[in-house]
A and B are shown apart, each in its own frame.
Chain A
Amino acid sequence: MSRNQLPSDGHGRLTRRQVLKAGAAGLAGAALAHLGVRGLVQDAAAQLPPGSYNPELTMSFPVERGAALRVLRWSQFVSTDEPTFQQNAAEFTRRTGVPVTVERETWTDVQPKAAAAANVGAGPDIVIGFFDEPHLWADKLVPVTDLAEYLGRKYGGWFPVAPQYGFSQELKQWIAIPIGAPGATINYRESWVKEAGFDPDPARFPKTTDEFLRLCQALRRRGHPTGFALGKAVGDGNVWVHWLLWAFGGKAIGPDNKTITINSPETVNALEYGRQLYETMIPGVAGWLDPHNNRAFLAGEISLTNNGISIYFAARNDFPEIARDMNHANFPIGPVGRPTELHLFSQAYIFKYTRYPNAAKEFLRFMMEDTQYGRWINAMLGYVTHPLRAYNGLAVWRSDPKALPFRDAVARMLPHSYQGTPGPRSARAMAEFVIVDMFAEALTGRRSVRDAIRAAEDRLRRIYA
């Protein structure tokens, strides 16, 4: 741990014993935050060395009289999530007197609900959703630049992907507060990896796509196929195909948000590699939705897949022998030479129709502060990876070595709109599974690599027209 990382005790409660030298930058930052000066720093990390924690910074929004909040969030993936979230919300109510009602929807149903709210101008005050959502109704949201910059200054800065999701280039404002990402890693069975002649230690797990393919092939030869979702798996499917596409340098769209760049030799390489990887997979992956790989892994039908920590979480409770034999490693790096991961990025945003914008901001501030945020993330065993650098020091990342690889998920990720910016078009490209379908068609051999790319290119061209 670097000296600038967040100190915390073993129970996940963050202490402020080690007050770090805040320095002039921190104090200046505090002053700016209090004055509400905006627009000076787009990337809040710019002001301070990355990772430095500034506990003496404080901020609070004057809560409106008689305020009450409705929060819509995604329903939990792991059983310790919602109770802890509720506990934090109850603590907020105790301190401010603002009652908070938390409503839940399956994570893919949050967007339709929020869309309805955006269209009719009534509904939850705060929505915690995914990916582009805030950019779909950016002008209907309360700007949260002051809060985002404060959090960035206090907690060592946002990881680079956070402003790409939370900051609106058009409005020049933060329109959402990044909450974190249910990160994904390669999940694998240690004994089988060992059997296949590879080191099961996550630190020595294959680091490159070439070596990773050799591992998968060796596993398959020993009767332990791999499994990666190629159906309409919103999470697992999108996560691994985008990783693979980007690992070889392929990308859907240029930085101008206009030029379609999918038809490239890099994409061909990614698909050719995918075809070899597909050979190592269990039959049926083309129809897999999000839950399929969890079940197949827990049943011992597959040796390796991509997933969040939910398989491990379930295994710890119900299949201790699998929990003992499984581990996680970060996605290998492809020819581009740097991590190219995609994770399910979650953000909270406040609708302008709320009568209590300050209470809403204060709620988000409270939930993101170390005591509450740390409690929440620690309770989830790290199911959600933090978007703020200083939270690298959370207790969960030291409590169980098998959770450690999830710590770096947000640091290693790119926005799904890469190389463009999040917005209605990238939302549509993802909702239509353009990249997933391209991989599914090419890998299963339903179309040639070239035809699959051309089909994706056609659809992207129309989406980005």
Chain B
Amino acid sequence: MAGVEVATATAATRRESPLAHLLENRHVLGAVMVFPAVGLLAVFLAYPFALGAWLSLTDATIGTPGRFVALANFHYLLRDAVFRLVVFNTALYAGVAVVLKLALGFLLALLVNREFAGKRFVRAVMLLPWIVPTSLSALVFYWLYDGTFSVLTWMLKRVGLVEGFINYLGDPTLARASLIAANVWRGIPFFAIGLLAGLQTVSPTLYEAAAIDGAGPWQKFWAITWPLLLPLTAVVTVFSTIMTIGDFQLVWIVTKGGPANATHLLGTLAYQRAIQGGYIGEGAAISGFMLPVLLASVAVAYHYLRRD
């Protein structure tokens, strides 16, 4: 090959080290440049993922490597009443919370997109629930929802709206609602900021033209804002869905999955069974059930990101 001959000749005349010579090759250089990124992904994403997938097919417990049991863990879980309840909880939690976060986040984005005094300050403050570490805000909710000392109950009692205590975390329905409310509070800024950025890219001339045609605010929203922001909305919603389905901290701090598993999510159940109960294989299988949902979400996000 000609290229090879030339390269050899150059090396001979310039007396380059073999390493420098090797790096002259763009394929080699490319591989070298990409290696750190690929290495990081392999070590911190691909390996744990593959290990998790393998563990879900074994009966590994803490301290034993386990034997291959094929799909026995998944089979067992599908018949497990607690697991089925947890799937329902997770779907309810993610479904309701994401819809609420989307609606309220959109509303907030539209509000702060208007011109008003202190706009910058309000936009900055709006981010707070998102910035505060979840474990800290979860502790605040833990106190807000305390059966005996809740400041919410205290205020409602003061106003005269309720008598006695509110059983926020003792009643399954109320406990679910309470946790969803906390998750919504925390997640709204994610939508609001993302959508606000999108709103600012919408050209004002579109709204002006619509106004000339006699469109009201509602028509402007449906005909201009919503379709233009749809790809961004889809992506933000998908990311939020992924984070909500994988939620752990809030539930673990406030209820640990109680009362009687009414607020257990896939993440908390996996932790309880794998780490506290010692059944790593089964815990990995529980996490595995999140995978199809997450893959679907990623596919949606990918679709819209490409169209962008």
Contact = CB atoms under 8 A, between A and B. Distances in A.
A230 B259 contact: yes
B146 A292 contact: yes
Given A287-B170, A287-B175, A427-B277, A440 B258 contact: yes
Given A231-B169, A284-B165, A462-B80, A441 B148 contact: no
B278 A115 contact: yes
B61 interface: yes
Contacts, number: 118
Given A111-B276, A231-B258, A444-B259, A283 B164 contact: yes
A455 B145 CA distance: 28
A446 B175 CA distance: 14
B104 to A, nearest CB: 26
A224 B87 CA distance: 40
A432 B172 contact: no
B278 A428 contact: yes
B96 interface: no
A380 B1 CA distance: 83
B260 A441 contact: yes
Interface string A84-124: 00000000000000000000000010011001001100000
Contacts of B167: 283-284, 286-287
B134 interface: no
A133 to B, nearest CB: 10
A296 interface: yes
Contact of B170 (A139, A283, A433, A455): A283
B164, B172, B175, B258: residue with the most chain A Cβ atoms closer than 10 Å: B258
A295 to B, nearest CB: 6
A160 interface: no
Interface string A426-464: 011001110001001100101000000001001100100
Contacts of B148: 282, 284, 292, 295-296, 299, 301
Contacts of B175: 287
Given A118-B62, A287-B169, A431 B277 contact: yes
A393 to B, nearest CB: 37
B6 interface: no
Contacts of A286: 167, 169-171, 258-260
Interface size class, chain B: 35 or more
B63 A232 contact: no
Contacts of B187: none
A428 B277 contact: yes
B165 A282 contact: yes
A284 B277 contact: no
A424 interface: yes
Contacts of A459: 81-82
B278 A427 contact: yes
A188 B61 CA distance: 42
Contact of A285 (B61, B81, B170, B260): B170
A366 interface: no
A288 interface: yes
Contacts of A140: 63
Query: B167, B260, B278 — which one has the most chain A CB atoms within 10 A of its CB?
Result: B260
Contacts of B257: 232
B305 interface: no
Contact of B149 (A115, A119, A295): A295
A115 B169 contact: no
A459 B282 CA distance: 14
A282 B172 CA distance: 17
A22 interface: no
A363 B22 CA distance: 58
Given A136-B62, A284-B148, A301-B148, A446 B256 contact: no
Contacts of B275: 111-112, 115
Interface string B57-79: 00001110000000000001000
Nearest to B279: A428
Interface string A287-305: 1110010011001010000
B61 A424 contact: yes
B170 A284 contact: yes
Contacts of A273: none
Contacts of B113: none
A282 B147 CA distance: 9
A416 to B, nearest CB: 14
B168 interface: yes
A282 B277 CA distance: 31
A137 interface: yes
Interface in A43-59: none
Contacts of B147: 282-285, 287-288, 292
Contacts of A118: 62-63
Contacts of A299: 148-149
A131 to B, nearest CB: 11
Interface in A133-190: 136-137, 139-140
A446 B82 contact: no
B241 interface: no
B123 interface: no
Contacts of B170: 230-231, 283-288, 444
A154 to B, nearest CB: 32
B297 interface: no
Interface of B: 61-63, 76, 80-82, 145-149, 164-165, 167-172, 175, 255-261, 272-273, 275-279
Given A283-B147, A292-B148, A437-B260, 8 more contacts: A140-B63, A230-B170, A283-B164, A284-B170, A285-B170, A287-B258, A432-B273, A440-B260
10 contacts: A139-B63, A232-B255, A286-B170, A286-B258, A424-B61, A424-B278, A427-B278, A431-B272, A431-B277, A433-B258
Interface of A: 108, 111-112, 115, 118-119, 136-137, 139-140, 230-232, 282-289, 292, 295-296, 299, 301, 424, 427-428, 431-433, 437, 440-441, 444, 446, 455, 458-459, 462
